[in-house]
């Protein structure tokens, strides 16, 4: 089976600064892969390149649907990337603050709906049905994530942990088969992180979503990941399963500093 995400020799230069240096990375269907590295290593830049926010200097990026249909990501605008089935969350929360929690999730459904302006004004039965479905589907998503008590609350009023989970819910609403999570556990306490761990596993098992995650919380990374990529200064310095990475001397030197026991 082809990997859902196949990135080959991805390079990103900002003027004289090389942020990504010939990165190769694959994610297979229903895999949980982690991308780790010290701050400034280029991880979010990587996300920005594959989602079309930056245009990479060099390299090929291919997204392949579970049914086999492949799309080249190079040159695609971010909304097209999401349409093709890859969604993301952001390192700094980028929710739609002045919309309710439910509406934030409903926005995620946008690219899977078809109503246009005439439909919005006239409201034929097809449109009404679609709107009803959007509301119900979004509510069900909130149930899955566990945010139903905030349903009509403004996103900006949510506690931090709930906001992070809302971002995930919103991204999931776009029906991705590959979900990019950028530091989802940032700022969470131990209990919240455990809940996140369970959530991500459920996403994989129930919704058949592959996950590529950037994280600094090593406990979470080691517990969740099938495979890990380590980058430093834009270069890939290691790749493998959690045990291998834990033992890798280059990784320890660059990043972990001390022994890590899961």
Partner 1 sequence: MMSLQEIKKSFLVSLWFMFLTFPIMVIKVNTIEQTIDWRWWRMAGVGLGAFCLSFVWRYAMARKEAGKKKAEDDNIVKVPLFQRLLSDRRFTIPGLVTSVALVVIFPFVFSWYQTGILITALIYVVVGLGLNIVVGLAGLLDLGYVAFYAVGAYSYALLNYHFGVTFWMALPIGGLLAMIFGILLGFPVLRLRGDYLAIVTLGFGEIIRLVLENWNEFSFGPSGIANIPKPGLFGLKLSLQESTIYLYFLMIGLALMTIFVVRRLQDSRIGRAWIALREDEVACQAMGIDKTRTKLSAFALGATWAGMGGVVFAAKTAFINPASFTIWESVIILCVVVLGGMGSILGVIIGALILILLPEYLRAFSEYRMLVFGALLVVMMVFRPGGIISGVRRIYHFEEPQQSTDNQKA
Partner 2 sequence: MDYFFELFLGGLTRGSIYALIALGYTMVYGIIELINFAHGEIYMIGAFTGLIVISVLTFMGWPTLAIIVMAALIAMIYSAAYGFTIEKIAYKPLRGSQRLSALISAIGMSLFLQNYVLLAQTSNFLPYPNLIPEWEWLKPYAHIVRPTEIVLYISTALVMVALTYLIKFTRMGKAMRAVAQDQEMSMLVGVDVNRVISFTFIVGSAIAALGGVLVMSHIGQINFYVGFIAGIKAFVAAVLGGIGSMPGAVLGSLVLGWTESFFTGYISSDYEDVFAFVFLVLILIFRPAGLLGRSDTDKV
Q: Token pair for residue 56?
A: 């990479």
Q: How many angstroms separate the CA atoms of 2 and 5, rounded?
A: 8
55 binds, among partner 2, partner 1, none (CB under 5 to 8 A by kind): none
**Integer angstrom CA distances of residue 219 from 84, 179, 196, 225, 261:** 32, 20, 12, 10, 8
Candidates 25, 32, 50, 171: give the one binding partner 1 (CB under 8 A). Answer: 171
Q: Is 48 an interacting residue with respect to partner 2 (CB under 8 A)?
A: yes
Q: Is 96 an interacting residue with respect to partner 2 (CB under 8 A)?
A: no
Contact (CB, 8 A) for 5 and 50: yes
The Cα angle at residue 52 between residues 64 and 61, in degrees rounded to 5: 40
Nearer to partner 1, 34 or 169 (CB): 169
The Cα angle at residue 256 between residues 253 and 258, in degrees rounded to 5: 90
DSSP 258: S
Q: Is 137 an interacting residue with respect to partner 1 (CB under 8 A)?
A: no
Q: Is 82 an interacting residue with respect to partner 2 (CB under 8 A)?
A: no
70 binds, among partner 2, partner 1, none (CB under 5 to 8 A by kind): none
Q: Which residues bind partner 1 (CB under 8 A)?
A: 51, 53, 77-79, 82-83, 87-88, 90, 94-100, 102-103, 106-108, 110-113, 115-117, 119-121, 123, 130-131, 134-135, 139, 143, 145-149, 151-154, 157, 159, 161-162, 165, 170-171, 174, 189, 191-192, 195, 198-199
């Amino acid at each position: 089976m082809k990997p859902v995400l196949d990135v080959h020799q991805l390079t990103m230069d900002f003027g004289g600064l090389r942020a990504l240096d010939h990165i190769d990375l694959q994610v297979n269907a229903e895999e949980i892969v982690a991308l780790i590295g010290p701050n400034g290593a280029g991880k979010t830049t990587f996300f920005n390149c594959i989602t079309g926010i930056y245009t990479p200097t060099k390299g090929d990026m291919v997204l392949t649907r579970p049914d086999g249909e492949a799309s080249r990501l190079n040159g695609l605008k971010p909304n097209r990337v999401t349409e093709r089935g890859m969604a993301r969350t952001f390192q700094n929360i980028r929710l739609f603050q002045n919309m309710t929690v439910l509406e934030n999730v409903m926005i995620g459904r946008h690219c899977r709906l078809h109503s246009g302006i005439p439909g919005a004004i006239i409201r034929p039965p097809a449109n009404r049905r679609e709107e009803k479905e959007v509301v119900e589907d979004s509510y069900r998503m909130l149930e899955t994530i566990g945010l139903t008590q905030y349903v009509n609350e403004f996103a900006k009023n949510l506690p931090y942990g709930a906001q992070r989970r809302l971002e995930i819910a919103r991204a999931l609403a776009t029906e991705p088969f590959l979900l990019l999570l950028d530091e989802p556990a940032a700022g969470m306490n131990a209990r919240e992180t455990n809940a996140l761990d369970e959530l991500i596993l459920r996403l994989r098992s129930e919704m058949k979503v592959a996950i590529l995650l950037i994280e600094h919380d090593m406990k979470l990374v080691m517990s969740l990941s099938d495979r890990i990529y380590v980058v430093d200064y834009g270069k890939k310095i290691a790749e493998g399963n959690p045990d291998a990475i834990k033992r890798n001397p280059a990784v320890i030197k660059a990043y972990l500093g001390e022994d890590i026991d899961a």
